[in-house]
Structure 1
Amino acid sequence: MNRFLNLLIVFLFPAFLFAQSNFNDLLNELDQTIANPAFYLDKKESYIGKLKVQCMHATTDLEKYACNEKLYLAYKSYQSDSAMVYARKGFQIAKKLDELKKLAHAQLNLASIMATLGMYKESTDLLKLISIESTADLKGYYFNTSSVIYGYMYDYAASPQEKQKYIELTRKYRDSSLQYFKPHTSAFIMAKSSFFIDVGQYDKSLALLLPYFPKITKENPDRAVFAYLISQAYRQKNELDQQKKWLAISAISDLALAKKEYISLRSLAFIMYKSGDIDRAYKYIERSLADALFCNARLRTYEISKMLPIINEAYQKQNETNRFQLILFLMSTSVLSLFLLGALFMLFKQMKKVAKAKEDLGLANTKLLELNGELSVFNKKLNDNNYNLTETNLLKEIYIGRYMDQCSDYILKLDEYRRKLNSMATSGRINELTQAVKSKNFIEIELAAFLNTFDVTFLQLFPNFIEEFSALLNDSETVQLKEGELLNTELRIFALIRLGIKDSAKIATFLRYSVSTIYNYRSQIKSKAAGAREDFESQVMRIGTKLNQ
């Protein structure tokens, strides 16, 4: 059982949401219609104005009768006093025409509008004067008008006895009208559905009304009446949502046709009051009263006047509640504003502190950047020094190795040379010994071998020395080597400088030249430099290092 109920809720809940959404849309449409009364009044007045122009051009009494009939219908639910004027004119013209049917029809029009104006005695007296038996075609209209008039009197009656009397007459004349209305006409369906509602057969009433309703155009005044009857059937079935929906449809139709005498909007106002929507209830009842007064519909004014104090009191109470809530809200807002101002003041102070901290941080960052720059320079110098130190150590290792090899060779060669001289001396070859001692061949051979070893070793250490050295000179002053030379004297001088031997005396001793010769070589090369002379030797020191890259 519980599972069945759950499934039922699941299936019906979307339908409920859709119905609620549909009703809200109708209420919004109704609110917009109420908010634009001038638009619908202009249409109504324009239509009435055209009818009046037609009446002005009417020449025959028959044309005037037909024109006055249209004006009566146009004013009937709009302005009762004007409708009375045209009903009387129609009655006077009908007497001139001397047609019994037109005269009876004019009398029924006059009786109907008198009832709207609250002239119940006059309207019932007039009904008694109508010779209904001689105008069978009007019996349906006659009985229906009588039913409506006694229905007004029922609503207006004060005592239960009177109410009972008039409701019985209302039903009697309504039931009689059914015998003369053609089936499937609007008048027949409205009367028959009203009968079904009275006898408790609400579904039969809806079975008549609902299929017929879509056939009624929006310009037809009967649309509002049909929708109202449908709402009453649902009211008796206790289906409040459907009742509200159809009351809203009826009210929209009434207002869109600029009808001022109606029931639906007043009924919907009371329902909205009971459901707690006081704002709409007050707006609807206020508009209903204004329209009833405009139309001079006395019964509607009387009915509204009984409801208005109730809704107005609730509206005033709600306004008082809203005013108290507004005051409370304003006080709360003021307190919150003070807190907010305090918070903003504290935030402003904090922002100033943050700004000062940012400024200090910016200065610190600037100093840190400067220190980082200095540290980078220092690190670069340190790396250069480390590189130079590494390079120097490498040079020392290579040259110490070469030096030891060279010394070992010299010792062997000297020992061999000593043995050779000793052999000459012991064998008595004095002349050969004297020539050998005086000869420089040995020294020159060894010097040439020494320089060749130096050249080979240096170029192993600095394989691009000649190209890089030439790049430091003017384009026309490139170094020219003889065939078979690895280095020449100029290159050897600056090779020694590259190795860190900058003293000209030491270079002279090393290369077995005079100091002045070395000095001249150095000066001549510097004069050929592509850049500044004073920077030339420092640039030479960068050859073969990453500093030169």
Structure 2
Amino acid sequence: MHRFLTLLFALLFPIFLFGQNNFDPLLNELDKTVADYQLYSNKKEIEINQLKGLLKHTSTDLQKYAIYGKLFSEYKSYQSDSALIHARKSFQIAEKLNDIQKSNTARLNLASIMGTLGMYKEATDILTAIDINTTPNLKGYFFTVNSVVYGYMSDYAASLQEKEKYILLTKKYRDSSLNYYKPRSSAYIMAQSSTLLDAGKHDETLALLLNYFPTIAHNSNDRAVIAYIISQAYHQKKEPQQEKKWLTISAISDLQLAKKEYISLRSLAFIMYENGDIDRAYKYIKRSLEDALFCNARLRTYEISKMLPIINEAYQKQNETNRFQLVLFLLSASILSIFLLAVLFLLFKQMKKLSKAKQDLSLANTKLSELNTELNTFNEKLNDTNYTLTEANLLKEIYIGRYMDQCSDYIGKLDEYRRKLNVMATTGKMNDLISAVKSKQFIENELKEFHTTFDKTFLQLFPDFIEEFSALLIDDEAIQLKEGELLNTELRIFALIRLGIKDSAKISIFLRYSVSTIYNYRSQLKNKAAGPREEFEAKVMRIGTSLK
């Protein structure tokens, strides 16, 4: 048996290995979102085309400026080249309107998208040329764009010295932006949480963002950014499961809003690679690369290009492993099928033997059942006989005792009667003697006393005789006793029958009636029987027993 289980496990192990899967609901949602990326892109295109359609019905530069600004916002994380085009158009109209507020806004939009496109020189030149004091309400946006551009430059820096320089500038401009955003605004929250995170204050960062995150609308661009910062806080705390969870939330938001320039999905791909989930890692990094190329986000493309060969190589190896496992699976399934067929064949033969054995056993059980039935019948008859013998013995014991008492009593009474007659004879009272000898009063008194003694003795043996006997008769023919009677003549006849005296002649002698009288009584009561007439006396014989 042990060898069989070992062999079965060896055959099934490749199947278990091949069928492994991860059923994380969030990851499943992300997988579906990745698969449906075109659906979200189509929705984005529809929104953009609707804005472009408004340009055909717009005549004023002011309206065109507003529409180009909206188009820039839609294209910013979707298609950088188009965002740059609309930022420039927006700037041209702002210059034409001679509005410093709109011009500086357009310049900042230009610098922001140039940073995404890797045009760092052009972006810094624009930022340097802006006199932000002319538009103090844009200072927060100005410092944020500087921080983002220098952040890109630090990621792309060729030397450590330059990298450290750009990191310092990134933090400097980010900290400056906090002075110009309204507290509790989204921009302020993001800048503050990034500052706390850089300082290693991950618990404070989580305390700030976990309370703020539920207030963000699902269609807000800030949702993915906040979720990404939360994931980085958990990364500092060394809680990989939470980090993966929030990266997944961030990636879902990015993809559903049709963003093509993002970080979360790429970061999640690398985590999946480290966790051995190569299929997801390859799928996520491939989607990230395609989106980065579509958006023309050069920094993201560069970052992805460093990871892609590693993940791709692992993916190819896994495919080879999967192919080997599939072959092993098919081989194991074939061997297992042959093995199962052999087992089924042996099982079929065994079942035929078992069926034959069941038939033999059924036949034996039938015969045994018949023997048991005969034995039960014999036991019932034996029990009846034993009961009858026991009852007879009991009756004999009781009646012998009563008979001896009765005989002794009669001897005493006869002796007294003899003395009485002797006195009459010796005293010469011949007339009294003759009257006493002729009188039946003595006999009648003794017979009455004899019947009373019999009634008491019988009812002592069968206390429920009258009720059970009456139950054998038709309801309106029940025996009615006179006051003071224990049994009447009819009941005494059947009491004697119950005691086993069935001969009418013997009963007539016992009760001092003629045989014909006894016969008539028996016939009359049989005619009153509730059941079949011929079964009446047999039922009387069962009175007082458990056999009804």
Per the alignment, residue 7 of structure 1 pairs with none
Q: Within 5 Å, which residues of 2 pair with 1:332-343?
A: 335=336, 338=340, 341=344
1:132 aligns with 2:112: no
Contact 1:192 1:205 in 2 (8 A): no
1:64 aligns with 2:64: yes
Per the alignment, residue 90 of structure 2 pairs with 90
1:254 aligns with 2:254: yes
Q: Which of these residues, 443, 447, 452, is aligned with residue 451 of structure 1?
A: 447
TM-score by length of 1: 0.64
Deviations 1:162-212 (A, max 9, x none): x57975885697589679968344889989998x89xxx931897997788
In 2: Cα distance, 1:511 partner to 1:388 partner: 21
Per the alignment, residue 383 of structure 1 pairs with 387
Amino acid at match of 2:517: Y
In 1: Cα distance, 2:189 partner to 2:364 partner: 92
Q: CA deviation at 1:529?
A: 3.0
In 2: Cα distance, 1:370 partner to 1:473 partner: 34
1:398 aligns with 2:395: no
Contact 1:144 1:173 in 2 (8 A): no
Q: Within 5 Å, which residues of 2 pair with 1:75-474?
A: 75-90=75-90, 93-94=93-94, 96-97=96-97, 109=109, 113=113, 116-117=116-117, 120=119, 124=121, 132=129, 137=134, 160=158, 167=163, 183-185=179-181, 202-203=198-199, 217=216, 221=221, 224=224, 241=240, 250-321=250-321, 324=324, 335=336, 338=340, 341=344, 352=355, 357=361, 360-361=364-365, 364-365=368-369, 367-368=371-372, 371-403=375-407, 405-407=409-411, 410=414, 441=437, 444=440, 447-448=443-444, 451-452=447-448, 454-462=450-458
Q: CA deviation at 1:271?
A: 3.5
Amino acid at match of 2:56: M
Amino acid at match of 2:281: A
In 1: Cα distance, 2:307 partner to 2:39 partner: 28
Relative to structure 2, which stretch is displaced further, 240-249 or 273-282? 240-249
Q: CA deviation at 1:152?
A: 5.8
Relative to structure 2, which stretch is displaced further, 25-34 or 316-325? 25-34
In 1: Cα distance, 2:394 partner to 2:68 partner: 126
Amino acid at match of 1:132: A
In 2: Cα distance, 1:30 partner to 1:93 partner: 41
Amino acid at match of 2:398: L
Aligned length: 501
Bigger Rg, which one: 1
Query: Measured at CA, do residues 95 and 208 of structure 1 come closer, stay the same or move farther in structure 2, by a change above 3 Å?
Result: farther
Query: Measured at CA, do residues 397 and 544 of structure 1 come closer, stay the same or move farther in structure 2, by a change above 3 Å?
Result: farther
Q: CA deviation at 1:248?
A: 5.2
In 1: Cα distance, 2:510 partner to 2:79 partner: 137
Relative to structure 2, which stretch is displaced further, 144-153 or 252-261? 144-153
In 2: Cα distance, 1:246 partner to 1:488 partner: 105
Query: Measured at CA, do residues 494 and 380 of structure 1 come closer, stay the same or move farther in structure 2, by a change above 3 Å?
Result: closer
Counterpart secondary structure, 2:527: coil
Amino acid at match of 1:57: H
Q: Within 5 Å, which residues of 2 pair with 1:482-501?
A: none
Contact 1:78 1:258 in 2 (8 A): yes
Query: Measured at CA, do residues 310 and 342 of structure 1 come closer, stay the same or move farther in structure 2, by a change above 3 Å?
Result: farther
Deviations 1:48-107 (A, max 9, x none): 345334433322122212211220221021023432442454355456546687667656
Query: Measured at CA, do residues 541 and 415 of structure 1 come closer, stay the same or move farther in structure 2, by a change above 3 Å?
Result: farther
Deviations 1:243-280 (A, max 9, x none): 76775565455334321112332133224423444344
Query: Measured at CA, do residues 229 and 480 of structure 1 come closer, stay the same or move farther in structure 2, by a change above 3 Å?
Result: closer
In 2: Cα distance, 1:133 partner to 1:486 partner: 136
Query: Measured at CA, do residues 538 and 41 of structure 1 come closer, stay the same or move farther in structure 2, by a change above 3 Å?
Result: same
In 2: Cα distance, 1:278 partner to 1:27 partner: 14
Counterpart secondary structure, 1:461: helix
In 2: Cα distance, 1:491 partner to 1:190 partner: 114
In 1: Cα distance, 2:504 partner to 2:178 partner: 144
In 2: Cα distance, 1:506 partner to 1:455 partner: 15
In 2: Cα distance, 1:57 partner to 1:415 partner: 159
Query: Measured at CA, do residues 56 and 172 of structure 1 come closer, stay the same or move farther in structure 2, by a change above 3 Å?
Result: farther
Deviations 1:318-343 (A, max 9, x none): 45445655665676676497397589
In 2: Cα distance, 1:446 partner to 1:105 partner: 150
Query: Measured at CA, do residues 497 and 345 of structure 1 come closer, stay the same or move farther in structure 2, by a change above 3 Å?
Result: closer
Per the alignment, residue 520 of structure 1 pairs with 516
In 1: Cα distance, 2:142 partner to 2:469 partner: 134
In 2: Cα distance, 1:193 partner to 1:289 partner: 28
Q: Any gaps of 5 or more consecutive residues in structure 1? A: 1-23
Query: Measured at CA, do residues 319 and 115 of structure 1 come closer, stay the same or move farther in structure 2, by a change above 3 Å?
Result: same
In 2: Cα distance, 1:487 partner to 1:181 partner: 124
In 2: Cα distance, 1:456 partner to 1:264 partner: 115
In 1: Cα distance, 2:464 partner to 2:254 partner: 111
Query: Measured at CA, do residues 486 and 169 of structure 1 come closer, stay the same or move farther in structure 2, by a change above 3 Å?
Result: closer
Amino acid at match of 1:395: Y
Q: Any gaps of 5 or more consecutive residues in structure 2? A: 1-23
Contact 1:104 1:131 in 2 (8 A): no
Deviations 1:443-483 (A, max 9, x none): 856654653454344334336999789969997998999x9
Amino acid at match of 1:76: K
Amino acid at match of 1:66: A
In 1: Cα distance, 2:204 partner to 2:547 partner: 109
Amino acid at match of 2:60: T
Deviations 1:339-381 (A, max 9, x none): 9758965885697556875785576457535633552343134
In 2: Cα distance, 1:172 partner to 1:468 partner: 117
In 1: Cα distance, 2:330 partner to 2:535 partner: 87
Amino acid at match of 1:459: D
Counterpart secondary structure, 1:262: coil
Amino acid at match of 2:518: R
Per the alignment, residue 48 of structure 1 pairs with 48
Relative to structure 2, which stretch is displaced further, 261-270 or 409-418? 409-418
Per the alignment, residue 21 of structure 1 pairs with none
Q: Percent identity among equivalent residues?
A: 44
Q: CA deviation at 1:229?
A: 6.8
State the Cα RMSD in Å: 6.1
Amino acid at match of 2:314: A
In 2: Cα distance, 1:35 partner to 1:234 partner: 28
Contact 1:151 1:170 in 2 (8 A): yes
Query: Measured at CA, do residues 381 and 36 of structure 1 come closer, stay the same or move farther in structure 2, by a change above 3 Å?
Result: farther
Relative contact order: is structure 1 or structure 2 higher (C-alpha 8 Å, sep ≥ 6)? 2
Relative to structure 2, which stretch is displaced further, 175-184 or 267-276? 175-184
